Structure 1
Amino acid sequence: MSTTSYSLKENSIPKLLLTYAGPAVLGLLINALYNIVDRIFVGQFVGAEGIAAVTLTFPISLFQFGFILLFGSGTGVLISKFLGESRPKKAEKALGTMMAGLLITIVLFTSAGLLFYKPLLHAFGAQGELLELSGEYLQIIIFGFPFAFFIALEFTCRAEGNPRLPAILILISSLINVSLDLVFMKYFQMGIRGAALATVIAQSSNAIFLLRYYLSGKSLIKIKWKNIRIQKNMILPIFSLGLAPFVMDVASSIQNIIANNSLLQSGGTFAVAAMGIIFSVNVIFLMIALGTGDGMQPIVSFNFGAKRPDRSRKTLLYAMILVSLTGFLGLIVLELFPNSIIGIFIDRNENVINIARIGLRIFALSIPFYMVQIVATRYFQALHEKRIATFFAFLRPVMLFVPIIYGLNYMWGLNGIWVSFVVSDGLSALISLVLIRKYSTKKIKTKPLWTASP
């Protein structure tokens, strides 16, 4: 038994969760930081219109990241399971299939993006100056897709027992991005194009280092040229296991499109800019939830494969406690200091500031709810309960949010849009907890999850 296998099967759950989720959360937070810094530079050097333009392109970035999750997360769960079952050759075949799938997706996605990005932005509600600014930004981002997709290797890296490398690489790429933001936007005065170019260069450097790690032979699971092909017995499980986070990301993209259109109708460019600020703050807590879920998955999947369901349950319990406490802490901070937070992004536009202040305080109430729901989705994905995980992924951003936002926007206008996030997230968290308890009691013939000893 390898050292990694022993630790996943025998070490204490809190220690394992800290070891795996800690670097994942740190890496994603650093990644979130440079996205936040992007918005700060855009807000300071381009203005409210620049923040609104970047916000309108966000659904396309989410859709693209959905494919990274489809391949990366699905392959990562499969690799963890194969390692738990002591089948490393199967894990290498899964990695090779992922690489083949990424290459095909890069060609299709980049070509489609360059051909249709303007009609898409117009469909999202961009017009006039907003359409021009968002088009300038998105076109450069699309040119970076061929490298950006290989960020999926972060998931396989964590799955093979190396959670530190992705965190280190994200730190490096973040420093590159922030430095280039300063150079391109302040000194070269490239405007919104400078922000996009800095992001592309930073993402590309991250992907190149990940590829170098695997191609240099230092990784536990090797990339073998003979395995780089679409293998039916691998691609179908990868898609099946990666479907839940993919659906969650695509559904979030749909949620963003609908929210942006509603904001444009109810509050115009200033409201979309305010949403961009709120999302920039929110991304911190989103990354904590995603990082905790991603770090939790190898532990849950390995012990699932090793016939230790009790350890899978305990991992979920600790992960839930962690994100709940973080969410409530974030809620308190955002309620107490909204003006200081908003002022970091923009300080000369009272219209945006006033809308963002109200929106941030209302939106903050949703944070603990969606953090719990994200972890629940990742848990069922790790257990290979694909239908439940996919249902959770679609539940919050589409099944609940879409009818709620239309109803509350009609009743309360702009404030109804902010409230719709709270209501849909609260309901989805409640449904998630009910299904987790039911599943734990029914499927595992031991104590329910909430009474499991630590």
Structure 2
Amino acid sequence: MGVNDKIFTEGKIGKTLLKFAIPAMISLLVVELYNMVDTIYVGRYIGSNAIGALTIAFPVQRFMTSIGMLISVGTSTFVAKNLGEKNYNGIKKTIINSIIMTLLSLGILSLIIYVFHQPIITKLGASENLYPFAEDYISIILIGTVFQGLTIVMGYIMTSLGDTRINLYANSLGAIANVFINHLFVAMLAYGVKGAAIATIISQFIAFLFISYKFYKIKNTLKLDITASGLNKEFSRSLIKDIFTIGFSTFVIEISDAVVSVVLNNLLLSTAGDNAIIMIGVITKVSMFMFVTIIGVSSSMQPIVSYNYGAENKERMLKTLKVSIRWVTIFSLAIWSVLMLFTPSIIGFFLKEAELLKETITAFRICISILPVVGIYYIGIYYYQAIEESGKSFLLSVYRQIIIFIPLAIILINSFGAMGAWIAYPLSDLISAITSIFFMKRTITPKVKEPQRVLKPKLS
């Protein structure tokens, strides 16, 4: 059939959550390895300046991924909710409009960025040394953004319909392809950062072909018409607006990393030079492993809560929330321990220069020193998305990176140089965790107690 809603209603919450979370975390881990392959290869075969160039390119990549995640999370929330309500026409309409959003938004944005890439790269903080590498990389990776976006969206849709492993398979296939193609173009053919970019877009297309083949079952089950006439027939501005509204807080979470990267690149370039940009690039890549567990559990909680929100099962909603907080803490502590213990070996994959390696190890340990405490912060964001409280989800999503981290970083970097940037990370993590605990205690429990007030609007 391609649709399995029993998984949302049967069995223990902990077991159900793990069925979603473990494949999600493995999939996210594969994605991080996928994204890290380019950095490892250019660092080893080209040099640290190439890593700096990929750091400059990171905000562009993150921005395009953010658009895909916005559409994916908004879509999956409505798909899961409609599934709980047994509204299959609603599922069909949601999927069609998500495809329209993906094609139009990513296609147009890719073209705009390509046309204006020169001033964009300069504003991202590229020095004269880093600019040529960044230009080569960015101008090529834009080709694959639509395929990557469609892969993300289709994966989230299929997960919301009960296929918990599809993202794992698609991402694993893409990651394996990326390693081999990078080795061919960067290590063997010496194509430089252009080779790394080519490897990325080819592997993205391979993952897209795989998930499209699997998505065909969903297409047949729901009788989806994804031709031009079918897309036009099901087009709904109001639904697109709703998808955008629900997914916007996820967009903010994702784009916040890009905004932080741009701010840090420009601040560090003026105070500490290219080496600091190279360091922040490596730190950003490796610290993403922490978010494998945090986002893995949080995003896996979302379709379960959304389904039971649609089915008006308030008890299962609350249990899912509590179990999610417990698991996100356990998993993130485990990954944090590994990263802290093996920091020299992990950072050593990227950097060859001894002094730069030593400084980066110290900076990395400072940056992630209390990162596990932010798990509950992300649980809150995804929970509010699941119950269509987009306003609260948005407020939480901008808090840590935009409201707290950036002002702290500006003050501390101007006072202490590069060290100020590293200190800003744990301070913002601590403040965000304390605030989110207080916020959730005051707002989540009342919402769960009486979901009927919003679950059944009056029909006119």
Normalised to the residue count of structure 1, the TM-score between the two structures is 0.93
Contact 2:64 2:106 in 1 (8 A): no
Match of residue 64 from structure 2:
64
Match of residue 160 from structure 2:
159
Does residue 214 (structure 1) correspond to residue 215 (structure 2)? The answer is: yes
User: Which is worse superposed, 277-286 or 217-226?
Assistant: 217-226
Which residue among 317, 323, 328 is the counterpart of 1:323?
328
Deviations 1:275-323 (A, max 9, x none): 1211121111212222222211110100111111221222222222222
Does residue 335 (structure 1) correspond to residue 340 (structure 2)? The answer is: yes
User: Which is worse superposed, 242-251 or 76-85?
Assistant: 242-251
Match of residue 422 from structure 2:
418
Q: Following superposition of structure 1 onto structure 2, how do residues 54-453 of structure 1 map, counting pairs within 5 Å? A: 54-151=54-151, 152-215=153-216, 220-225=221-226, 227-229=230-232, 230-347=235-352, 349-445=353-449
The aligned amino acid for 2:423 is V
**Compared with structure 1, are the counterparts of its residues 220 and 264 closer, same or farther at alpha carbon in structure 2 (3 Å cutoff)?**
farther
Deviation at 1:250, TM superposition (A): 1.9
Does residue 24 (structure 1) correspond to residue 29 (structure 2)? The answer is: no
Match of residue 47 from structure 2:
47
Match of residue 34 from structure 1:
34
Deviation at 1:372, TM superposition (A): 3.0
Contact 1:214 1:223 in 2 (8 A): no
Deviations 1:400-450 (A, max 9, x none): 11111111112222111011111112211221121111123322339xxxx
> Unpaired segments of 5 or more residues in structure 1?
447-454
User: Which is worse superposed, 99-108 or 299-308?
Assistant: 99-108
Contact 2:306 2:387 in 1 (8 A): yes
**Compared with structure 1, are the counterparts of its residues 116 and 72 closer, same or farther at alpha carbon in structure 2 (3 Å cutoff)?**
same
Match of residue 458 from structure 2:
none
Deviations 1:5-36 (A, max 9, x none): 33312321111111112211111111111222
Contact 1:271 1:355 in 2 (8 A): no
Distance 1:11 1:221 in 2: 27
Deviation at 1:216, TM superposition (A): 5.3
Distance 1:222 1:437 in 2: 44
Q: Could you say what secondary structure the match of 2:238 adopts?
A: helix
Distance 2:444 2:47 in 1: 50
The aligned amino acid for 1:354 is K
Contact 2:377 2:433 in 1 (8 A): yes
The aligned amino acid for 2:250 is P
Deviations 1:336-363 (A, max 9, x none): 332222112122x123212201211101
* Percent of residue pairs identical: 27
> Unpaired segments of 5 or more residues in structure 2?
451-460
Contact 2:249 2:397 in 1 (8 A): yes
Deviation at 1:45, TM superposition (A): 0.6
Contact 1:342 1:353 in 2 (8 A): yes
**Compared with structure 1, are the counterparts of its residues 314 and 228 closer, same or farther at alpha carbon in structure 2 (3 Å cutoff)?**
same
Deviation at 1:334, TM superposition (A): 3.2
Contact 2:384 2:393 in 1 (8 A): yes
Distance 1:419 1:434 in 2: 24
Contact 2:71 2:98 in 1 (8 A): yes
The aligned amino acid for 1:39 is T
Distance 2:440 2:225 in 1: 39
Deviation at 1:221, TM superposition (A): 4.4
Distance 2:425 2:272 in 1: 17
Deviation at 1:220, TM superposition (A): 4.9
Contact 1:160 1:221 in 2 (8 A): no
Q: Could you say what secondary structure the match of 1:224 adopts?
A: coil
Deviations 1:21-68 (A, max 9, x none): 221111111111122222111110111101111011111111111110
Match of residue 452 from structure 1:
none
The aligned amino acid for 2:53 is A
Distance 1:38 1:220 in 2: 38
User: Which is worse superposed, 71-80 or 97-106?
Assistant: 97-106
The aligned amino acid for 2:198 is L
Contact 2:5 2:161 in 1 (8 A): no
Q: Could you say what secondary structure the match of 1:162 adopts?
A: coil
Q: Could you say what secondary structure the match of 2:129 adopts?
A: helix
Deviation at 1:261, TM superposition (A): 1.6
Distance 2:367 2:116 in 1: 32
Distance 2:242 2:301 in 1: 20
Contact 2:3 2:218 in 1 (8 A): no
Contact 1:213 1:219 in 2 (8 A): no
The aligned amino acid for 2:69 is L
Distance 2:221 2:19 in 1: 18
User: Which is worse superposed, 161-170 or 283-292?
Assistant: 283-292
Q: Could you say what secondary structure the match of 1:128 adopts?
A: coil
The aligned amino acid for 1:388 is K
Q: Could you say what secondary structure the match of 1:228 adopts?
A: helix
Contact 2:67 2:106 in 1 (8 A): no
The aligned amino acid for 1:133 is F
Normalised to the residue count of structure 2, the TM-score between the two structures is 0.92
Contact 1:72 1:155 in 2 (8 A): yes
Contact 1:158 1:295 in 2 (8 A): no
Distance 1:439 1:359 in 2: 36
